[in-house]
Amino acid sequence: MDVKGKTKDNPKARMDIKEYCRRKELWLQELQNGKIIKPKASFPFTLDEKHEIIEWVKNLRMLEGYALNLGKRADMNEEKLMGMKSHDCHVFMETLIPITFSHLPERIWKPIIEISIFLKDLCSGKLLESSLNRMEKNILVTTAMLEKIFPCGFFDVMEHLSIHLVQEAHLGGPVQTRWIKIGSSKQTIKQRGRIEESFVQGDVDGIGQTIEYYGIIQEIIEVRYSSWPKKKIVLFQCEWFDPSHRGTKVDHQHNIIEVKHNRKYTSYDPFIIAQNIKQVYYASYPLRRDKAD
């Protein structure tokens, strides 16, 4: 983001690159008039890109009780994220980074998204010994890939801490029992009326193949039965998106699901029992015009 006073891509870092690395394209250059310029690297955002990303974060509407106030952390005047809580940082690192930086070249985007997946897996409620062993090997490779991209000054204790987090998980178990702060609840959350997004797994043509349906809840219906004992069920009337590969694309490697909102499910089957769905949220790509729909 190249935030003034925070960026690690400064003249001193470029001088270190000249001393310790062979990336001549990042060396400081001296012009004939004696002025020293810093060549543009491949990883910083342009001013227009920064503005679009901050505006995108500001307009995000996350789930209530999850990260509803994340948009308030976006400062359009300073063009940076300010006042982010620990939970906001976790949400951004684990879920939004793959979307935010998807326009970057693959050699830069891939290790960044692998860091995001690593943190999401590490913070899950259930950890398998085999998964930890795999994560311990992968994080070493990912860190090495990042060191080939960013300046030497970018890396300090915090950047290399991720290598030791897996070792801590081996000894202490899931992070939920360790990364906590004892306190008391001081606030209550009121339900705000808004359209909710939904997701459900279903059976295709009754042949046992499982497919995921994504949609938007249009109406909530409560059905009451007058017979004794009195019973009631809650139905959601949804507008479903096309579940085929033309409307829904799943990237299993990077845990990204792309849904084209302009492609609808043609069959009339809008109702579903409330217990059978999961709540999700949709976020557009901030800088990819080819993914605008």
Q: For 227-272, what is each residue's pLDDT tens digit?
A: 778 888 899 999 999 988 888 888 887 778 888 888 998 888 888 8
Is 180 a residue whose pLDDT tops 70? no
Reading the block at residue 73, the tokens are: 């952390």
DSSP, residue by residue, 208-264: TEEEEEEEEEEEEEEEEE-SSSPEEEEEEEEEEBP-STTTEEEETTTTEEEE-TT-B
Residue type present at position 126: K
pLDDT exceeds cutoff 50 at 55? yes
3-state helix, strand, coil in the chain (%, to 5): 35, 20, 45
Q: List, for residues 129-170, the tens digit of each pLDDT value.
A: 898 999 999 999 998 898 888 877 777 777 778 888 888 888
In angstroms, the CA 28 to CA 42 distance is 15
Answering whether pTM is above 0.85, one says no
Q: For residue 21, is pLDDT > 80? A: no
Whose CA is closest to 198, among 262, 251, 243? 243
Question: Please, what is the average pLDDT of the chain?
Answer: 80
Please name the residues in contact with 117: beta carbons below 8 A apart, sequence gap of 6 or more.
Answer: 254, 255
Burial 235-246 (b: 16+ CB within 10 A, else e): ebebebbbbeee
Q: Where do the structural domains in the chain lie, given as residue ranges?
A: 11-177, 197-291
* Rounded-to-integer distance, Cα 69 and Cα 64, Å: 9
Q: How many CB atoms lie within 10 A of CB 73?
A: 19
Helix/strand/coil for 39: coil
So what's the pLDDT on residue 193? 42
Dmax (CA) for the chain in angstroms is: 93
pLDDT of residue 186: 43
Q: List pLDDT tens digits, range 184-201.
A: 444 443 444 444 555 565
Per-residue burial over 253-278, b = 16 or more CB atoms within 10 Å of its CB, e = otherwise: eeeeeebeeeeebeeeebebeeeebe
Chain segment 83-96, per-residue pLDDT in tens: 888 888 888 888 88
Q: What is the pLDDT of residues 193-236, one digit of tens each?
A: 444 555 565 544 444 567 788 999 899 999 888 877 888 889 99
Q: Are strands 256-259 and 209-225 parallel, antiparallel or unpaired?
A: unpaired
Looking at residue 269, its pLDDT comes to: 86
E-strand ranges in the chain read 29-30, 36-37, 74-75, 80-81, 197-204, 209-225, 231-240, 248-251, 256-259, 271-273, 278-280
- Chain centroid offset of residue 35 CA: 41
pLDDT at 191: 40
Query: What mean pLDDT is predicted for residues 282-292?
Result: 72
What is the rounded CA–CA span in Å between residue 114 and residue 143? Answer: 10
Question: pLDDT-derived band of residue 25, with 50, 70 and 90 as boundaries?
Answer: confident
**H runs (alpha helix) in 30-105:** 47-58, 86-91, 97-100
Q: Is 240 left (phi over 0), alpha (psi -120 to 50) or beta?
A: beta
What are 122's two structure tokens? 């590490």
Residue 125 — very low, low, confident or very high, per pLDDT cuts 50/70/90? confident
- Residue with the bigger pLDDT between 82 and 210: it is 82
